[in-house]
Every structure is written in C-alpha cells, then in structure tokens.
Amino acid sequence: MIPVILSLYWSFFKVGLFTIGGGYAMIPLMEAEVIGTHGWLSAAEFLDIIAVAEMTPGPVSINAATFIGYRMAGVAGSLITTLGVISPSLILLLVLSKALFKLIRNPVAGNFLNGLRSALVALILLAAYNLGQAALIDTPTAMIFALLLIASLVKQISPLYFIAAGALLGLILYPY
Amino acid sequence: MTVPKTLAGQPGPKESLFNILLTFLKVGAFTFGGGYAILPVIRQEVVFTRKWVSEDVFADILIITQGMPGQLALNSAIQIGVRLRGTVGGLVAALGVTAPSVIILLIIAAWLYPLYRDNQYVHAVFYGLRPAVVALIAAAAIKLGREILHGIRGIILCAILLVAAIVSQVHPILLLVAGGVAGLLVCRRECH
C-alpha cells in the first residue's frame, strides 16, 4: 500500500510540474505515467476517466487525478494524487511567486517556454494518436471523431459540446 | 497582522479567509469545461464582483498563470489568495478551487461508476465519448499549434520532436525539456 501511495504521489507531482500553460498539456504526461510507465489503466479506461473529468465541474486534471487515485488506492489514493498534481503549483506560487514573475518576463525564459510549447504540440498530437487506437475501433467511432474534429476546426467549440455530442452519438450508433 | 503587499507594492485589501474560501468553492463547483472556461469566471468574481484586484493586476496574474507549471484555475486562485491574505490565503484559495472536484469525483468513482458500469446504455455513452475525447485532444493540439508555431522554424522543431517522440518512445518530460533547450538555441530573435 505505502509504495503504491508514494509512486502515485510522485507520478502526479511530475504531471503537475510539467503541465505548463494548462489544459491539455497534462494529457500526454498523465498518459505516459498512468498507461505507459506503470500500466495502471488501459487506454480505454483512461479515456473514460478524461470524459468524466470533462463533464464534471472544476479543473480537468484535478478531476482526473481524483478519479485515477480512487481507482488505484481508494479515498487515500484520490487525496494523494490530487495533492500530487497541485503540489508544484503550491510550492512554486507560495514560495517563489515574485522571483517567477521576473523570470517569466525574461526573454531567455520566453525562448525556453516557446521551444517547450513546440514540444507540447507534438506530444499532444502523439497522445491523440495513441489514445485514438483504443477509441476509433469501428466506422461509427471514426465518424464521431472526424465529425467533431472538423466541427472544431471550423468553429470554436466548448469542450462541453464535444462531450454532449459524443454521448448522444454513442447512444444512437452503439451496436447494441 | 501585517497587510500583504501586492507585486506592485501597494497594500492589498484585507479580506476574510471565509470569503476567499467561499468564492473559490463557487468557482470550483459550478464552472464546467476546464481551465480556459474557468479563467473568465474567476476574472468576473475577483475583478468585478469582489473588486479584490484591478484588471491590470489580473492581467499580470494571467501571465504567471500561463507561463507556470500547474492548472490555470489553481494557479490564478493561489495568486489571488496570496495577494489578499498571504500564504494562508493562497492555501485557502487552493482548497476552495480543489475541494469540489475531489468531492464530486469521489462520489462518481466510489458510487455512481460501479453502479452503472455494466449498464449497456452507459457502455453506449462511453463508446461515443471516447472518440469525442480524442477529437478534443487533437483539436487542442491543432489550436495550440496555430497559436504558437509561428514561422518555419517552430514547425520544423515541432515535426522533429514528433518524429523523435514516435521513434524513441522517450518520456514526455524529456521531450519537453529538449524542446525548451532547442527553443533557447533556435529562437534567438525571430520566434516571437
């Protein structure tokens, strides 16, 4: 139990520390830790949890961390993963807030962050590809993916509409 | 107790910890759709409704929020809390924005999910949700790419990193650091 708790904390600490710019930056990191390194969840389970995390209120990565932690080690696990994912923010912002403010305004740090974001685009694309193999399993699922992706390229869509459309199309197209 | 100073050096307004907690509990409990949906709600609360910070200060907070590790909503909440009541204020704001997530997700993970896991309509919903989530992730990558990959150098760097990631299966953290270092070397002037 103790080793699981510790590795859960460390895994989600890393996710929190390298989620820069928020949002979907955490997806490839969580995928690598939870599916790749530790094999805690299958890709399909991971996608289900991200879907639930999207449709519930609050920050998506905190929602996902709570759910994954509970699956792994009950209530204690959920508290540990959540604490892990928020620890870097707490440490950096409570202790180093002023120094960071100066650092971020520094052009050298700006170049570092720009390069890091280029890597982020590559990583998020790769995560979509990896997870797609568990999600796009037949013609209807491929159609749902293509429809929503094209719609999002044409018009800015809230994640909530993606989730609502996916759920509705799933109910209609599922091979019962 | 000393009144905490803002970054600009003026004394911040004194606010009760209870109000800080309540404000961020509300943000955490009622805002759907992740970071970019939550930030406008936080802005409305702290700049206009509560008048805790000015629009200029909030803009500075956003710069730190987006350049820093961590969740957008959490990062901005902590900074507001610190401005109002120092370290304790930051912790209370973090608790407020996090607690609703933990409570709601625990109810789902511990009770709802096991109850409905074997229901065929729930299967049908998740059958459709999985490709929807993949579309969401792919759309996020494309949107981010459009925003930040200006010019041929950024695109080439991104392509090289993508190939490196596929071929080597290296941990994402290493790739992020490699990208950052490449940014230092490549982007001397023209990447902004």
- Put simply, the answer to whether A89 touches B172 (Cβ < 8 Å) is no
Position with higher pLDDT, A175 vs A102:
A175
* Residues B89, B177 within the same domain: no
Class of residue B88 by CB neighbours under 10 A (exposed 0-12, middle 13-18, buried 19+): middle
| A-B contacts at Cβ under 8 angstroms | 377
Q: Are B129 and A176 within 8 A, CB to CB?
A: no
Do B156 and B105 reside in the same domain of the chain? no
Residue reference for tokens 């805690």: A40
pLDDT at A5 over 90: yes
Q: How does DSSP assign A41-72, residue by residue?
A: S-HHHHHHHHHHHHHSSS-HHHHHHHHHHHHH
The pLDDT assigned to B189 comes to: 52
The predicted-structure confidence for B93-133, as pLDDT tens digits, reads as follows 999 999 999 999 999 999 998 888 889 999 999 999 999 99
**Residue-level pLDDT at A160:** 87
Residue A1 DSSP symbol: -
Structural domain harbouring B182:
120-186
Give the closest residue to B125 by CA, choosing from A56, A123, A165: A165
Q: How confident is the model at residue A107 (pLDDT cuts 50, 70, 90)?
A: confident
Task: Supply the mean pLDDT for chain B.
Answer: 86
pLDDT the model gives residue B8? 46
Å between A67 CA and nearest CA of chain B:
6
Instruction: Name residues 120-149 of chain B within 8 A of A (Cβ).
Output: 120-121, 123-142, 144-145, 148-149
Mean pLDDT for chain A overall:
91
pLDDT tens string B124-176: 999 999 999 999 999 999 988 888 787 787 788 889 988 988 888 888 999 99
Give the lowest-confidence range in A21-25, B29-33, B83-87, B110-114.
Answer: A21-25
A142, with CB counted inside 10 A (0-12, 13-18, 19+), is middle
pLDDT bracket for residue B188 (50, 70, 90): low
- For residue B5, pLDDT beyond 60: no
* pLDDT tens-digit map of A26-75: 999 999 999 988 999 999 999 999 999 999 999 999 999 999 999 999 99
d(CA A142, CA A162): 14
Please tell me whether residues B24 and B98 are part of one structural domain: yes
Number of domains in chain B: 2
Assess whether B77 and B155 both reside in one domain: no
The alpha carbon of residue B114 is apart from the nearest alpha carbon of chain A, in Å, by 11
Where a domain ends, among B95, B116, B137?
Answer: B116
Return d(Cα B92, Cα B19) in angstroms, integer. 10
Mean pLDDT of A161-172: 95
B26 and B106 belong to one structural domain: yes
**Tell me, what's the pLDDT at A77?**
96
Write the Ramachandran bin of B186: left for phi over 0, alpha for psi from -120 to 50, otherwise beta. Answer: alpha
Query: Which structure tokens are listed for A149?
Result: 């992706």
Q: Do A57 and B101 touch (CB under 8 A)?
A: yes
Query: Does the residue B191 lie in any domain?
Result: no
Best interface-test mutation with A: which of B68, B95, B146, B148 has the largest number of A CBs within 10 A? B68
Which chain A positions have a beta carbon within 8 Å of B134's beta carbon?
47, 128, 131-132, 135-136, 145
